[in-house]
Amino acid sequence: AERLTKRWNKWSRAPDVTGELSWNDAQRMIARAWFRDGEQFIQHVTLRYPFAAGETPYKIELLESDMVPYDLNIEDQGWRQGVRMNAWRKPSA
């Protein structure tokens, strides 16, 4: 439990890929975007590179909803306004 707590404390100082936000700052940005736009996209990054050795190999990338390509409409593959949907039109990616 102590090792996990130490690792969490270290990770939460800079959980995003830019290394500029703390976990509290990231949560504030997520909430602000969610309240303003109704959505917030997060990409889960699990590769070690380019992160330093010894760090937890997990980071998040916060993506504004403006980054969604609204012109990506490939209906036969399930894409609509940049969001992939299943047969029931539930977002899956």
| In contact, 79 and 73? CB cutoff 8 Å | yes
Q: How confident is the model at residue 70 (pLDDT cuts 50, 70, 90)?
A: low
Burial of 4 (0-12, 13-18, 19+ CB in 10 A): exposed
Query: What's the pTM?
Result: 0.68
Residue 47 has pLDDT above 80, yes or no: no
pLDDT at position 84 is 79
